[in-house]
Amino acid sequence: MRAALGTAGVTLGLAGAVLGLLTIAAGLARNRLDLQRRGVASVWVVLAGAVVAAVAMEWALLSHDFSLQYVAQNHSLATPFVYTVASLWAALEGSIILWCLVLAGYAAAVVHRFRHQRDDRLVAWAVLALLAVCVFFFALMLGPANPFRTISPVPADGPGPNPLLQNHPLMAIHPPFLYLGYVGFTVPFAFAVAALVTGRLDEGWLSVTRRWTVIAWGCLTVGILLGAWWSYEVLGWGGFWAWDPVENASLLPWLTGTAYIHSVMVQERRGMLRVWNLSLLLATFSLTILGTFLTRSGVLDSVHSFTESPIGPWLLAFFGAVVATCLGLIGWRGDLLRAPGRIDSPLSREGAFLANNVLFAAFAFVVLLGTVFPLLIEAVNDDRISVGEPYFNRMVTPVALALLFLMAVAPALPWRKASTELLRTRLQWPAWGGAAALVVAVLVGARGLSPLLAFALGGFAGVAALRQLGLAARAARRAGRSPLRAITGRTNGGMVVHLGVVIVAVAFAAASSYSTSVKLRLEEGETRSVSGHEVTYLGVEQYRVGDRRVVKARVQVDGGRIYEPALTQFPNATQTIGTPSVAWGFREDVYLTLAASPEREGGPAIIGVIIEPLVSWLWIGGGIMAAGTALSVVPGAPRRRATDPAPAGDDLVAAGR
Amino acid sequence: MRSRAALISAAVLGVLAAGFVFVLSTAEPATTRKADSPLLGKLAPPLVGADYDILDSAGQWVLVNFFATWCTPCIAEHDDLVAFSNAHALAGDAQVVSVVFSDDPDNVLAFFAENGGDWPIVLDGDGRIATDWGVARVPESYLVAPNGEVRAKIIGGIEVGKLEQLLAEAKATS
């Protein structure tokens, strides 16, 4: 019943997407507006299909319908409610349902947003591109990743989701955010394709795409940071980022997306970099597909230990088709659309954005190379090597530091050309901020070139962002507007995001450079001192929670609160899962794990203690980035007219000079 | 004359992307991935634990598995190792030996007690064995022939089917 309903939903979605695509294509080819409209409206059918499929799967999970293979493999009678709902994305097939749901939701949002321009050929082309992507993902569900496959005999119970995925509520929200980000980049991709096909790159199209990109980018940012937080809270090694292929796969589109959000401003102000911006959007979408392939095909070894799945070749073929389409469009249209004009001075806002883009492109290249290098080497001379953290840290640190520097300088630069006097006045306070951060860092005992540089540049960039916000507040007050106006709108919201980035960067540098890790064998009641923190082991308790067996250690930190790192044995699973407990603080976290429970009652236990400075600021900074993103999509103060408006309307003629 | 920069860049990138897709499409899966090692074809370095010496295993194929209980792929491959060990226990033609890579002995004992596996475990407190064998990160495994020669190095998790295939190939060429 649920299987039939689910399959019906998937079929409906696929049929809607295929018919809609063909109808729009026919409408565009024959200039028939009625066909075009009908095709665009089919997006609602696709959305209905996705909703039916998702509802069918949730219903099957909640009603313990083990006749579905997916439920039998990823659910058990004892799985708690929250994790049952989240089991929709606990494994491959279900996560494709979520992907389709988000994709159809975005497509419907696009159609709704542009309902008054639905006769525009550009919108029709964009919807056509969205539907083409829908066709692929719905086809996956009917073919190799069918979530509604049934099995017989029907088991009475299942093993439940992977224990690591039912250990923390963050697992319930991290994947949806990641998907909102990942899939959200399909919208700007679709508009980029539409722009290239129709040859229209005017301003209106641009500002619309920018906002969709910013929303997707914000969701991806939150998704990535929630993933880092989850691994910190759950995995028990005290880390939050390991340059694992799965993490890199989410970072790559984030990097190109970030580059686009910045360089698109050059296009808006000066009409330049148009083809480059389109290429960034196309690359961002291609990278989301490549990332999905890398993490789902089993070609790379990951701590997430994904197994091989049958959709690998499909994703690779789709990636190839997407890249071929993108490059074909750029090759066909790119030279016609390129804008005249050049950057007057490297010491200008547009110069800084260009440098920003070069750095982000380098960053993405370094990460991509490190991720796929083992595969390339293997193909060339059959050697197997692995690229680890040292490579990434060495290559990425200078790029990240240069980006921090740019983040401080760029907001102070005017468009076109800056004078040194102007820079001196504008950068005076930020420079003092950087110096102060450096002095404070040295005084509290920080050592090492890279982290000290990160702190100094962080202070520099942080004060630069605060200065911009201060100027905006002053302008708002003079204009008699609400002080809220000082933090809303693209520029001000962007500065809030910058503040968040600075906080994350400083916290990242501190936590990865100055953590101390020890394992202590402690008798009951014994106290040991670790980097100035008193850690007292008080004993263990054992009990059962539902279907799980838990051994919980009671550990007192600094004579105050008692923390309870635990080991959990899940039924039907061979592994024990450690649950760390974190004594959190603004200055540093005391990260406790139960490394080994006592062998006899009252015996010694082994407690892992990791002291990590400033980790909690990663999450605070992430929250500020998210808030800044939200503020930046709220309309802000009316912007000044562009100093050099891009040739509007007939771009092909303008560009053909 | 009009610039053709976009066309040329697209063409160059297209060639690169085609090569990349080709590489990806022919890549082997990451489990049981054979790796290069200077030890291949040479006699295995010493491997001595409290009550185990690899010399005692002469006449048998030995899978030397470097692992830690904190490593997720190691946990994932454990069931496959158990299956491999059980499959060869009766015939006595191959056995598994685990070397503990920077981990606490108590964790390891608890891990084996809970997850099964009754093969020898060698502690490597000072990391000497891992250094001798050239282990960079876990899991890594070495297939040692009955004559003591190292025949294969495997990085990443092990999948029992592929391991059997590897063993069969190694047997065929010895």
| A379/B29 CB distance under 8 A | no
Please give the Cα distance from A249 to A367 (Å, whole number): 9
Tell whether A381 and A402 lie within a shared domain. Answer: no
Nearest residue in A to B29, CA atom:
A299
Tell whether A401 and A369 lie within a shared domain. Answer: no
| A596/B115 CB distance under 8 A | no
Q: Which domain holds residue A456?
A: 392-499
Tell whether A16 and A103 lie within a shared domain. Answer: yes
The number of distinct structural domains making up chain A is 4
Please name the amino acid found at residue B82. Answer: V
Tell whether A369 and A426 lie within a shared domain. Answer: no
Tell whether A378 and A478 lie within a shared domain. Answer: no
CB A171 within 8 A of CB A86: yes
HSE, CB side, 13 Å, CA atoms: give it for residue A419: 3
pLDDT on residue A7? 95
pLDDT on residue A653? 36
User: With bands split at pLDDT 50, 70 and 90, how would you rate the model's confidence at A406?
Assistant: very high
Tell whether A190 and A111 lie within a shared domain. Answer: no
Please give the Cα distance from A409 to A331 (Å, whole number): 35
| B116/A324 CB distance under 8 A | no
Tell whether A430 and A445 lie within a shared domain. Answer: yes
CB A367 within 8 A of CB A361: no
Please give the Cα distance from A202 to A181 (Å, whole number): 25
Out of A354, A385, A416, pick the residue that ends a domain: A385
Q: In this structure, what DSSP letter does residue A329 have?
A: H
- With respect to residue A203, please indicate whether it lies within any of the assigned structural domains: yes
- With respect to residue A627, please indicate whether it lies within any of the assigned structural domains: no
ipTM higher than threshold 0.85: no
User: With bands split at pLDDT 50, 70 and 90, how would you rate the model's confidence at A298?
Assistant: low
Mean pLDDT across chain A, nearest whole number?
A: 87
Nearest CA among A325, A368, A322 for reference residue A137: A322
Q: Is the pLDDT of residue A307 over 60?
A: no
pLDDT on residue A640? 46
| SS3 (DSSP) at B13 | helix
Please give the Cα distance from A102 to A246 (Å, whole number): 20
Tell whether A104 and A194 lie within a shared domain. Answer: no
| SS3 (DSSP) at B49 | strand
User: With bands split at pLDDT 50, 70 and 90, how would you rate the model's confidence at A488?
Assistant: confident
CB A634 within 8 A of CB A489: yes
B10-61 tens-digit pLDDT: 899 999 999 888 888 877 666 666 777 788 888 888 888 888 888 888 889 9
pLDDT on residue A231? 86
Q: Which of A289, A306, A384, A600 to mutate to test the interface with B (most CBs of B within 10 A)?
A: A384
Domain boundaries, chain B: 30-172
A606-639 tens-digit pLDDT: 899 999 999 999 999 999 999 999 999 887 555 5
A309-341 tens-digit pLDDT: 678 889 999 999 999 999 999 998 888 777 777
Nearest CA among A165, A127, A206, A235 for reference residue A646: A206
Q: State how beta strands B94-100 and B121-122 pair.
A: parallel
CB B85 within 8 A of CB B96: yes
Q: Tell me yes or no: is domain B30-172 CATH 3.40.30.10.
A: yes
Tell whether A255 and A144 lie within a shared domain. Answer: no
| Geometric angle at alpha carbon A302, from A298 and A304, rounded to 5° | 100
Region B98-104: what's the mean pLDDT?
83
Higher pLDDT: A136 or A307? It is A136
Q: Is the pLDDT of residue A232 over 70?
A: yes
| B115/A328 CB distance under 8 A | no
| Residue B75 touches partner A, C-beta closer than 8 Å | yes
- With respect to residue A266, please indicate whether it lies within any of the assigned structural domains: yes
CB A96 within 8 A of CB A50: no
A640-651 tens-digit pLDDT: 444 444 433 333
- With respect to residue A108, please indicate whether it lies within any of the assigned structural domains: yes
- Cite the DSSP H helix spans in A185-311: 186-198, 203-234, 245-270, 274-296
Tell whether A123 and A215 lie within a shared domain. Answer: no
User: With bands split at pLDDT 50, 70 and 90, how would you rate the model's confidence at A138?
Assistant: very high
| Residues of chain B neighbouring A298 (CB-CB closer than 8 A) | 29-31
| A299/B28 CB distance under 8 A | yes
Smallest CA–CA distance, residue A8 to chain B, in Å, is 32
| Residue A562 touches partner B, C-beta closer than 8 Å | no
Q: Which of A305, A519, A594 to mutate to test the interface with B (most CBs of B within 10 A)?
A: A305
- With respect to residue A650, please indicate whether it lies within any of the assigned structural domains: no
Out of A101, A133, A161, pick the residue that ends a domain: A161
User: With bands split at pLDDT 50, 70 and 90, how would you rate the model's confidence at A652?
Assistant: very low
